[in-house]
């Protein structure tokens, strides 16, 4: 559902544009390049990049988002899985993007917003279903990777107007609105959090922006490290985004499980960051492999019990991946060990 338009079928694309009442067309994702995979370049760098680079169709609506790519050397500033901001594998494919979703710089409230035109305008009065996957960045190869915050209000704002951001443009005032957003603090540094919702279009929206559109006063944060630490601490929140979806079909985008299904099936890995022990809940009998930041096997075994504890006090501090394997299913969880 988060994939691209069927690449071999130009006639299908035209048919969907002409006959929007078709059930097949309604299930289509209105977001081009939803996983940020399509690009003409693989450039090692962040900030302002040369024209024509970055993910196809997407562009900055405010400051400089980062295109994170697996094609770069390990540890590159915008590489995957290790980069300046985090150690993380994409939710799907080989790319994702990163945005500052909170940045307190004196009186200036800075944000990063990214924008894309929809494949077709929304129809006023029609209900649309939306989703994206988000991850709180933590534990990259920056000199002080523990500096980041987690922030609330990551979401999706639809507009009828285009707004390219250019260097030197003034910072816009907070909009304090969005059709779909995550009101809680997005603190999961291990998995990808589903941000989803639906709304009735009141205009023929033609563009989507992603980011935090609320002021600092309306945004909640959580520290990943003690601000009184001897290490430098900066009030910045950085969030990864992947698998963006907008559809007129209720089955077109991820909408999450019911609360009962989540409680019954959700594997929980905590605390994160950890110091002496890592706990795994709801994974009894699952085989476990732990890999370090270089992909080397550190530990392997089997989970015994619904609340299982892995001692990690003697392990080197840094980023790891906990891989759970059961039959044909495999899940990866990132965790960080700190002093």
Task: Check pLDDT > 90 for residue 170.
Answer: no
pLDDT of residue 281: 83
- Residue pLDDT, tens place only, 248-258: 998 899 876 43
- Residue pLDDT, tens place only, 256-297: 643 333 444 567 787 877 889 998 888 888 889 898 877 788
Structure tokens at 249: 């079909």
User: With bands split at pLDDT 50, 70 and 90, how would you rate the model's confidence at 312?
Assistant: very high
27: Cβ–Cβ under 8 A, 6 or more apart, which residues?
A: 1, 247, 249, 251, 252
User: Is-contact 189 225, C-beta < 8 A?
Assistant: no
Task: Check pLDDT > 60 for residue 238.
Answer: yes
Task: Check pLDDT > 90 for residue 216.
Answer: no
Q: Distance between CA 189 and CA 136 in Å, rounded?
A: 5
Structure tokens at 318: 């840094």
User: With bands split at pLDDT 50, 70 and 90, how would you rate the model's confidence at 326?
Assistant: confident
Dihedral angle of Cα 239, 41, 4, 211, to the nearest 10 degrees: 20
The region that residue 193 occupies, defined by phi over 0 for left and psi between -120 and 50 for alpha, beta otherwise, is beta
pLDDT of residue 313: 93
Mean pLDDT, to the nearest integer, of 66-74? Answer: 94
Backbone angles phi, psi at 198, to 5 degrees: -140, 160
pLDDT of residue 228: 65
Mean pLDDT, to the nearest integer, of 107-124? Answer: 90
Task: Check pLDDT > 90 for residue 239.
Answer: yes
Q: Distance between CA 15 and CA 124 in Å, rounded?
A: 21
What domains are defined for the chain?
Answer: 10-247 (2.60.120.260), 259-337 (2.60.40.3080)
Task: Check pLDDT > 80 for residue 143.
Answer: no
Structure tokens at 232: 């430098």
């Amino acid at each position: 559902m988060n994939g691209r338009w069927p690449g071999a079928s130009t006639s299908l694309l035209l048919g969907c544009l002409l006959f929007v009442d078709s059930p097949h067309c309604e299930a289509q994702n209105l977001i081009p390049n939803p996983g940020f995979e399509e690009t003409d370049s693989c450039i090692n760098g962040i900030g302002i990049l040369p024209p024509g680079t970055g993910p196809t169709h997407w562009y900055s609506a405010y400051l400089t988002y980062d295109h994170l790519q697996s094609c770069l050397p390990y540890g590159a500033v915008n590489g995957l899985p290790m980069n300046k901001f985090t150690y993380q594998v994409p939710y799907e494919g080989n790319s994702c993007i990163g945005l500052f979703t909170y940045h307190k710089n004196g009186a200036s409230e800075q944000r990063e917003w990214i924008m894309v035109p929809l494949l077709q305008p929304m129809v006023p009065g029609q209900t649309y279903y939306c989703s994206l996957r988000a991850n709180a960045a933590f534990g990259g190869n920056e000199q002080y990777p523990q500096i980041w915050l987690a922030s609330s209000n990551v979401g999706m704002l639809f507009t009828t107007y285009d707004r390219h951001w250019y260097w030197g443009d003034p910072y816009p005032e907070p909009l304090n609105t969005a059709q779909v957003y995550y009101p809680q603090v997005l603190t999961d540094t291990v998995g990808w959090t589903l941000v989803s919702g639906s709304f009735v279009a009141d205009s023929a929206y033609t563009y989507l922006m992603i980011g935090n559109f609320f002021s600092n006063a309306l945004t909640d944060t959580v520290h990943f490290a003690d601000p009184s630490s001897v290490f430098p601490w900066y009030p910045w929140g950085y969030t990864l985004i992947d698998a963006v979806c907008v559809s007129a079909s209720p089955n077109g985008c991820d909408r999450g499980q019911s609360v009962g299904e989540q409680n019954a099936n959700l594997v929980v890995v905590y605390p994160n960051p950890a110091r002496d022990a890592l706990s795994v809940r709801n994974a009894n009998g699952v085989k476990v492999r732990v890999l370090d930041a270089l992909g080397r096997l550190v530990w392997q075994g089997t989970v015994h019990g619904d609340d299982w504890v892995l001692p990690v006090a003697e392990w080197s501090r840094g980023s790891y991946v906990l891989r759970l394997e059961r039959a044909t299913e495999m899940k990866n969880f990132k965790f960080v060990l700190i002093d």
